[in-house]
């Protein structure tokens, strides 16, 4: 599957001042990652945005949005935006901003990593000797 390079370029232009954004090909499209976590992307000629579970209902109330669905089951906290509405720069800016804000809305990016089996620092495997609390980080600290 290909993606709309024109739409991807418009997103790049909106994110050009953000050094914490990287691009990665995934899901047959192009994703924009904030601190390594997907926030917005282009699949085909549509935009996908991580709005977070707390803002999903509000996001889905907009006429251009629908639940993101790759597998037959909607993904919680994600929306797909398509159609002629994306031709408007203000609409695209809204969804790019919503995708960046969705990074703080919970989900996998907001979970603390736990467990000895993963060998995290301070857990006994490969430990630096520091206490467990030294490796728990907030989302804001992940981008530093």
CB-CB neighbours of 135 under 10 Å:
15
What is the model's pLDDT at position 144?
58
What are the sequence ranges of the domains in the chain? 5-110, 112-144
CB-CB neighbours of 43 under 10 Å:
22
Q: Is this structure's pTM higher than 0.75?
A: no
How far is Cα 35 from Cα 102, in angstroms, rounded to an integer? Answer: 13
What is the model's pLDDT at position 136?
41
Q: What is the architecture, at CATH level 2, of domain 5-110?
A: Alpha-Beta Complex (3.90)
For residues 84-103, average pLDDT: 93
Asked whether residue 25 carries a pLDDT value surpassing 90, the answer given is: yes
Q: What is the pLDDT of residues 55-66, one digit of tens each?
A: 999 999 999 999
In the chain, what's the furthest Cα-to-Cα distance?
Answer: 56
């Amino acid at each position: 599957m290909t993606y709309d390079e024109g739409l991807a370029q418009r997103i790049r232009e909106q994110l050009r001042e953000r050094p914490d954004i990287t691009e990665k090909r995934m899901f047959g499209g192009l994703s924009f990652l904030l601190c390594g976590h997907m926030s917005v992307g282009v699949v085909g000629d549509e935009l996908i945005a991580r709005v977070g579970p707390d803002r999903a209902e509000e996001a889905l109330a907009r006429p251009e949005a629908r639940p993101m669905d790759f597998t037959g089951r909607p993904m919680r906290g994600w929306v797909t935006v398509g159609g002629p509405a994306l031709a408007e720069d203000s609409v695209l800016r809204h969804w790019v901003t919503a995708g960046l804000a969705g990074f703080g809305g919970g989900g996998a990016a907001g979970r603390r990593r736990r467990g000895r089996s993963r060998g995290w620092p301070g857990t006994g495997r490969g430990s630096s000797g520091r206490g467990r609390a030294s490796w728990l980080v907030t989302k804001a600290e992940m981008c530093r």
